[in-house]
Structure 1
Amino acid sequence: MPDHRPLQPASPWVQVVATDADWDAADPALLRTIYAQLVWIRAFEQYVLDLAGAALIHGPAHSSIGQEGGAVGSVLALTSEDSVNGSHRGHHQFLAKALHHVEPKGLDPLAPPSDDVREVLLRTLAEIAGLDRGWSHGRGGSMHLQWKEAGAMGTNAIVGGGVPQAAGFAWAHRQAASDAVSVTYFGDGATNIGSTLETMNLASAWHLPACFFIENNRYAVSTTVEEATGEPRLSSRGPGFGIAAWKVDGMDPLAVHLAMTEAVERMRRGKGPTVIEADTYRFFHQNGGFAGSAFGYRTKEEEREWRARDPLTQTAAQLVRLGVLTEDETAQAVAQAKAVMDEIGSVLLEPDPDGKPGQRRIKSAEWPDTDWVDVGVRGDLSELDDAPVVADEASVSVAETKFIDAVATVMGRRMETDDRIVVMGEDVHRLNGGTNGATRGLTDRFPGRVLGTPISENAFAGLAGGIALDGRFTPVVEFMYADFMWVAADQLFNQIAKARHMYGGTGGVPLVLRSKVAMGTGYGSQHSMDPAGIFATSAGWRIVAPSTPYDYVGLLNTALRLQDPVVVLEHVDLYSTSGPGPVDDWDYCLPVGRASVRRPGSDVSVLTYLGMTPYVLAAVEEYGEVDAEVIDLRWLDRASIDWDTIEESLTKTNQVLIAEQGAIGTSYGGWLADEIHRRFFDLLDAPVWRVTGGEASPSISKVLERAAIAQQDEVVAALAEIARY
């Protein structure tokens, strides 16, 4: 028989219970603040449910009633310098942080609210109602609340979606030599999400000051914790990743505060991340003002038992027991908060003259201007006002340069001149510059700023998104292959791409994603895609596709100045090639939205990009019967396409061929052809011609891979067809 030796987790895992002695020992000012916050948040949430019941809230109203104790108890252990983000059920988290920011010395439940408190309540209510007065001018609504000045970095509608960003905030705090911490609030459902678990692992590996605060309200909509996992003690996730964990009664705000104080102290001492599981209960259904029992997944008896442990009534009882407040004073605080919420509501609402008696409507002046609908999808490029922008190669001394050398050299130059830049990705810190040499020499030159990551694209892409939202640093993320964007699709497309617009259009998201295209190298269907067509559908991303060393340097320099996320596409075919590159000027920028005419011509305009550009130029030379003008697009996103150059070329040629390598299903040229037809129909003598890869993804077989992608031969065939037209 083998010996069985019990193993103990390397990190502590404890349950914290507040006793009457803890209440007795607590600072009365802290207890008054706890109660005041609970009262204000409860009154706010009840008012939101009233508006939702009157159809004055467009969209969901995910009430936090019953769960306020966890948010209040934890936030009061933080400062304004600390960051928080939260879930779709995040009103209480946001309000607790915002109220603590404007009243850092504490709230008194009996004192009339300050103008700052009223402003927080008014702007939050306006945001939830989708009004211009809101924090994000109504764009975020109930599920996307952000006030960065207060350290409230944004609640999130994707379950687990905000968790990786919180690790980014934590990294930025530590890199800035601050002792600030980051707290991410999420529910029991998110503890089983890949992005959450990936981020716990990454935060532990990097010893980040990040707290994973689990609000275990026992139901993911209607699915119980016991149904969703074999270990319903969700704080157990912590020791599994080497993270210290606390389990606490979330209906007891003082117990939460005590646990959070211990966790924050540990993080501020540089002891790495923490997990807190607060057992709590939402009194209503997932959305709206009905009890869960009305939908059959909870019993009324269970709801009564939890309501008997309401954090407001428990806290009020303790304050009365301690003589901090009388029963009449606790009732007075509740009445005052309700009256103030009615006053605040009257700022936004008015009687509806066409409705029933007592019916209200939103004041017309409170709605956002519809002309503002797309403003802020991306920035206005004012950050380039002082950039050393050049028009063409004639402005820079060039010499024959190996493409991959240009990649590594310009990245080194940027890190040398801007200590805000940090590079991360799989193996970028090893192998003499990653798998292709793009970060060669950078690890030794810039210790702590070239970060080799675990294989967890969702986590480290989201972490980079958090760093970008924080704004103090500029992350450069490397995806070893472009296909891996599907693994991180939530962070790339739901989070990073939408953040600027969703949160009001003013805050930047400075992030560069370097993504490698490897078709033609035998790496098969899951390592060979061209993602340009996918990124082009996602408003918010800018896309650059350099085909020469000169272009790479100028485009990367521009990308790293932008306050928008930029994906820099790199083709493996180009890494080993040589072409014009800078001799001694590694700082120049190429203008946003400027294509390059690689070859003038008069018969057809060929639009191409990235690794297809050399194949097109070779095809035009091989097939001499068509005088083709070859335009290397360089910028591929909808906002940055060089329509002026395309129109000027079409005015001469009156027909256009779009040539790309990738599969037809994810084709970049599909939307571009449609747009050209709409914009330049009168200039065209023929429909838009196209060269793409086939329907199938490239496979491993050399001959089948070649048949699946487009190269020089396919362009020659297209030119021959155009000649016969």
Structure 2
Amino acid sequence: MSTSTPLELSTDCTELRTTRADWDAAPAGLLESMLVQMTAIRVFEEAVLQLAGEGLVHGPAHSSIGQEGAAVGSVLALQGRDGVNGTHRGHHQFLAKGLAFLCPEGLSVVDGLKTDAVKEFIHRTMSEILGLKAGFSGGRGGSMHLQWLDAGALGTNAIVGGGVPLAAGNAWAQRHDAEVAPEAAESGMGVTVTYFGDGASNIGSTLETMNLAAAWRLPLCFYIENNLYAVSTHVADVTGEPRLAARGPGFGIKSWRVDGMDPLAVYLAQQAAVEYMRAGKGATLIEAETYRYFHQNGPFPGSAFGYRSKEEEKQWRDRDPLAKVAGEMIRRGLLTETQQADLIAQITELVAGSVAEITEKDPESTKGARRIRPALWPDPGAVDSGIRSDQPLTGRILGDVSDGGTVERRFVDAIADVLDRRMAEDPGVLVLGEDIHRLKGGTNGATRGLKDTYPDRVLGTPISENAFAGLAGGLSMTGRYKPVVEFMYSDFLWVAADQIFNQIGKARHMFGGHSSMPVVLRSKVAMGAGYGSQHSMDPAGIFANNPGWRIVAPSTPREYIGLMNAALELDDPVLVLEHVDLYAIKGQIPEGDLDYQLPLGKAAIRRQGEGVTVLTYLNMVEISLQAAEQRPDLDAEVIDLRWLDRASLDWESIGASIQKTNNVLIVEQGARGTSYGGWLSDEIQRRFFDYLDQPIQRVTGREAAPSISKVLEAAANADLNDVLAGFDEVARNLGRS
């Protein structure tokens, strides 16, 4: 007969509630700081809702009124060096972290917020929420994307669960910093807190990151603000276990559940979690049960939309965190009602003064309405500035002919060689991805030998593309690390699309150009390898149409080394494409030289000609050269683009060739629907229409993604015959047979 034995989990989940003794023992300075911070947040957000009601907040105003205690109690248990990030509803956490950073000795009820630095902080935060140039990100981030890196405010995030993997990157950096320089972390390693709501607790990126953080023992606290509603959907409607702290032990994460309307309970739970993490014991989780008094956004309560009752809202308002702290302070003789009223009046005056500097009477209004002062708006001409860095490359550029000797090397070995060299020279370079630490260098051998040489900087990840891509983004934002991320197949990039496109690609511009993002993604195009529809695609066309990314496509071992070196110097995210057909090819590289670069934004002319300009990349360079030799009558000029993104494309070389040949053929192997050549041909005809003797011709694969069948796969992908057919079409349009 079978037996049933309850499983013992590796860690526990504790419910923490305060008693009168806890409040009596709480330091007076701590309670004063709590009250001042919460009052400042409440008054500030009431002003934001007033401005929203007047139509002066462009976009949503996600207030956290009611949730102040959950943020303030948590942040006061942290140090200035600790990092936090949050969600679209993150005003309270951002304000709390900024105030704690500016006033590390605490805040007093009598003094309130009187320093010039605090006044400037309030003004810059209000300016950012209103989209003004004085804001922390120049108005680009607004209410949902607040960042102040100096204060450890890593950035709030409009994608539900989107910031959680980024926080893991900051936590990994903190742990690694403590390990390599323990003398600099005598008080324990720094920690990171990622704040998110009940809705994000069910998001894949959050759960992936919990698993990764637990496995790697990261000093990362998953802080769930459970306000019961994801917009209007109650937590009990979407999960079988509404006690969200129970998520933690399933991943091996020590967890606490607290009353989020009790700031002292939050503080004590966060204090315990911080002590656990600083000691190197790994990740933690806190669930704070709290309540937002207003709807998802705007100045109306949830009851106005029918999904909450007024009775429920009153019950929660009766447990207001500001009233709780003020009441306990009055009971202990630490506060009078007059002092509390004076504090509210002083902070109200400060916030009102900031609003008065930003607004003025609208001269076109007959009802005395306000408007934003026109001089405070950002310059519309700067709308595209800061998408990518503009620093020049400083490395040594290798010319087309090497000055020294050469040695023959396989393409895949050149990858491992240059990564080894960069890791040896720069302790900030690390490599991560699935199986890269096994199989003698991953599934293709591109990371051969790296794990043995750099055991702490070669990270074999779980199969969690969102988590490890976001972790790389968070590492990059520290300004100290340059992660090289291997995606085993390019199709897997789509599993991590939120982190790649919404987070990494947009971060620099969204946060006003302040967030460095030197992430290098390596991924292979596996067309022709028989891996079918979900392991074969060429992602160049998709990346070229998303902001922020640079794209390089090496076609030889020599090119790979120079382009990877350039990619790792850039302060931007770079996609480095590799093709399986190229891994085994051999080519000449400079002997004893792995430090050269190829110039940013410079294509290579592989064959001179005057009849037709052929634009191509990766494995199709060699195939295009073969086709050109078979059609000498067309005298093709074959250009290996090398850099594929909009900002880096070599328009000088492309334009000179088109003005000479007056004909263009774009050659790529991939599917027509995700074609790189689609946007490229559009741009060419806009720039060089008057020089073209015929429509731009294109060679692509078919509409279908490649199939497993060898015959169908060959039919789906472009090959030499398709390129020759493209040459034939060019000839026909020129009146030749």
Please indicate the TM-score interval, normalised by the length of the shorter structure. over 0.9
User: Could you tell me how far apart the structure 2 residues matched to 1:535 and 1:324 are?
Assistant: 59
Q: Which residue matches 1:129? A: 130
**Pairs within 5 Å for 1:330-345:** 330-345=340-355
Match of 1:574 among 562, 582, 587: 582
CA shift for structure 1 position 682: 1.1
Q: Which residue matches 2:427? A: 419
Q: Which residue matches 1:530? A: 538
Comparing 398-407 with 262-271, greater Cα deviation is found at 398-407
**Pairs within 5 Å for 1:52-71:** 52-71=52-71
1:47-93 deviation line (CA, Å, top 9, x unaligned): 00010001111010000000010110000011111010000000001
1:584 matched to 2:582: no
Comparing 417-426 with 101-110, greater Cα deviation is found at 101-110
User: Is this contact kept in 2: 1:393–1:550, CA < 8 A?
Assistant: no
User: Could you tell me how far apart the structure 1 residues matched to 2:234 and 2:708 are?
Assistant: 45
Q: Which residue matches 2:308? A: 298
Q: Which residue matches 1:287? A: 297
**Pairs within 5 Å for 1:6-405:** 6-112=6-112, 113-177=114-178, 178=185, 179-382=189-392, 384=393, 386-395=394-403, 397-405=405-413
Q: Which residue matches 2:182? A: none
User: Is this contact kept in 1: 2:225–2:287, CA < 8 A?
Assistant: yes
Runs of 4+ in structure 1 over 4 Å off: none
**Pairs within 5 Å for 1:436-515:** 436-515=444-523
Distance 1:533 1:335, change over 3 A: same
User: Is this contact kept in 2: 1:167–1:463, CA < 8 A?
Assistant: yes
- The SS at the match of 1:718 is helix
User: Could you tell me how far apart the structure 2 residues matched to 1:387 and 1:395 are?
Assistant: 16
| Amino acid aligned to 1:159 | V
User: Is this contact kept in 2: 1:376–1:500, CA < 8 A?
Assistant: yes
User: Could you tell me how far apart the structure 2 residues matched to 1:669 and 1:393 are?
Assistant: 30
1:711 matched to 2:704: no
CA shift for structure 1 position 2: 2.5
User: Is this contact kept in 2: 1:625–1:723, CA < 8 A?
Assistant: no
User: Could you tell me how far apart the structure 1 residues matched to 2:248 and 2:512 are?
Assistant: 35
- The SS at the match of 2:505 is helix
User: Could you tell me how far apart the structure 2 residues matched to 1:170 and 1:662 are?
Assistant: 38
CA shift for structure 1 position 571: 0.3
CA shift for structure 1 position 624: 3.0
Q: Which residue matches 1:618? A: 626
User: Is this contact kept in 1: 2:402–2:590, CA < 8 A?
Assistant: no
RMSD: 1.0
User: Could you tell me how far apart the structure 2 residues matched to 1:361 and 1:683 are?
Assistant: 50
CA shift for structure 1 position 357: 4.4
1:203-251 deviation line (CA, Å, top 9, x unaligned): 0000000000000000000000000100000011100100000000000
- The SS at the match of 2:432 is strand
- The SS at the match of 2:574 is strand
User: Could you tell me how far apart the structure 2 residues matched to 1:82 and 1:523 are?
Assistant: 45
CA shift for structure 1 position 719: 1.1
User: Could you tell me how far apart the structure 2 residues matched to 1:156 and 1:39 are?
Assistant: 24
TM-score (norm. length: structure 1): 0.99
CA shift for structure 1 position 396: 5.8
| Amino acid aligned to 1:175 | H
Aligned residues between the structures: 723
| Amino acid aligned to 2:164 | V
- The SS at the match of 2:96 is helix
| Amino acid aligned to 1:246 | W
Q: Which residue matches 2:605? A: 597
User: Could you tell me how far apart the structure 1 residues matched to 2:363 and 2:696 are?
Assistant: 55
**Pairs within 5 Å for 1:608-687:** 608-687=616-695
User: Could you tell me how far apart the structure 1 residues matched to 2:42 and 2:403 are?
Assistant: 63
CA shift for structure 1 position 392: 2.2
- The SS at the match of 1:154 is strand
- The SS at the match of 2:588 is strand
CA shift for structure 1 position 323: 0.7
Comparing 82-91 with 612-621, greater Cα deviation is found at 612-621
- The SS at the match of 2:9 is coil
CA shift for structure 1 position 395: 4.8
Q: Which residue matches 2:181? A: none
Comparing 4-13 with 564-573, greater Cα deviation is found at 4-13
| Amino acid aligned to 1:685 | D
User: Could you tell me how far apart the structure 2 residues matched to 1:291 and 1:598 are?
Assistant: 66
- The SS at the match of 1:625 is helix
User: Is this contact kept in 2: 1:548–1:581, CA < 8 A?
Assistant: no
CA shift for structure 1 position 8: 2.5
Comparing 3-12 with 259-268, greater Cα deviation is found at 3-12
User: Is this contact kept in 2: 1:43–1:341, CA < 8 A?
Assistant: yes
1:142-168 deviation line (CA, Å, top 9, x unaligned): 000000000000000000000000000
User: Could you tell me how far apart the structure 2 residues matched to 1:207 and 1:27 are?
Assistant: 32
Q: Any stretches of 5+ residues in structure 2 without a counterpart?
A: 179-184
| Amino acid aligned to 1:694 | R
| Amino acid aligned to 1:418 | D
User: Could you tell me how far apart the structure 1 residues matched to 2:109 and 2:570 are?
Assistant: 46
Comparing 386-395 with 302-311, greater Cα deviation is found at 386-395
CA shift for structure 1 position 423: 0.2
User: Is this contact kept in 2: 1:389–1:591, CA < 8 A?
Assistant: yes
CA shift for structure 1 position 724: 2.5
User: Could you tell me how far apart the structure 2 residues matched to 1:280 and 1:430 are?
Assistant: 45
User: Could you tell me how far apart the structure 1 residues matched to 2:407 and 2:730 are?
Assistant: 36
User: Could you tell me how far apart the structure 2 residues matched to 1:134 and 1:356 are?
Assistant: 30
| Amino acid aligned to 1:319 | M
1:158-180 deviation line (CA, Å, top 9, x unaligned): 00000000000000111111510
User: Could you tell me how far apart the structure 1 residues matched to 2:560 and 2:309 are?
Assistant: 63
User: Is this contact kept in 2: 1:397–1:585, CA < 8 A?
Assistant: no
| Amino acid aligned to 1:133 | A
TM-score (norm. length: structure 2): 0.97
| Amino acid aligned to 1:322 | R
Q: Which residue matches 1:552? A: 560
- The SS at the match of 1:174 is helix
CA shift for structure 1 position 3: 2.1
1:184-213 deviation line (CA, Å, top 9, x unaligned): 000000000000000000000000000000
| Amino acid aligned to 2:564 | L
Q: Any stretches of 5+ residues in structure 1 without a counterpart?
A: none
Comparing 533-542 with 581-590, greater Cα deviation is found at 581-590
